[in-house]
Amino acid sequence: MTVKGHMVLALLPIAAVMGPEALHHPVLLGAAAIGAVAPDIDEPGSYIGRRLPFLAYPLRWIGIKHRTLTHWLIFPLALLLFALPFRGEPWFPITIAFIYGVFMHDIGDMLTKRGIRGFFWPLFPKMTTRFLPRPFALHTGGWAEYLLVSILIVLTGLLLIGADMEGLLKIVKTAVVDMGRSFTEKGVALF
């Protein structure tokens, strides 16, 4: 998944839960967005790897390959276990937002054809985990991903500004039904 896809996938659930209130917490939104790209630090050519080569290259040199350790479930769980003793600290919510972003990165990669091999390491080190059957999974940087990301960006924006989602869905439904009627009247079969 691309950088924009990872970021919007992390921000959409926050926008859905918090709505416009999320805009009052830019540091938490930023931490989630940074967390959403952080696992790709294992790839020096990635967005974050190019910005932090002093971290990306040593990971490569010690043998950590892309979509391995930093993409496995054990990574955000280890971060969480490390952070829990600091629950009372003022920076704790920021850390949790970052860890949430890391986890959402994995969700995004599981939508791709490649998925994540070893996500449940050490239990199932050779199993590839993806949410969609391979023929329906997204090709990273492909048209389907760009379409999905574009829709998610618009949806996230609407949620953040407090748009009336119920009203918006009624408008979309009406437009689709009207479009269907128009095609049917012209003799064009949609399905």
Is there a single domain that holds both residue 64 and residue 105? yes
Q: Name the pLDDT band for 191 (thresholds 50, 70, 90).
A: very low
Going by C-alpha positions, the residue among 39, 46, 35, 38 that lies closest to residue 10 is: 35
SS3 161: coil
Domain around 99:
3-160
Q: Tally the domains of the chain.
A: 2
* Mean predicted confidence (pLDDT) in 126-141: 92
Is the sign of the CA dihedral 46, 128, 120, 77 positive or negative? positive
Is there a single domain that holds both residue 181 and residue 132? no
Is there a single domain that holds both residue 76 and residue 149? yes
Is there a single domain that holds both residue 102 and residue 170? no
Rounded to whole angstroms, how far apart are CA atoms 99 and 62?
23
Is there a single domain that holds both residue 58 and residue 115? yes
pLDDT digits (tens, 9 = 90+) for 56-115: 999 999 999 999 999 999 999 999 999 999 999 999 999 999 999 999 999 999 999 999
Higher pLDDT, 166 or 72: 72
Is there a single domain that holds both residue 124 and residue 174? no
Is pLDDT above 90 for 180? no
Is there a single domain that holds both residue 141 and residue 191? no
What one-letter code names the amino acid at 2? T
Give 147: exposed, middle or buried? Use CB within 10 Å, 0-12, 13-18, 19+.
exposed
Is there a single domain that holds both residue 35 and residue 128? yes
Is pLDDT above 80 for 158? yes
Is there a single domain that holds both residue 153 and residue 86? yes
pLDDT, position 174: 80
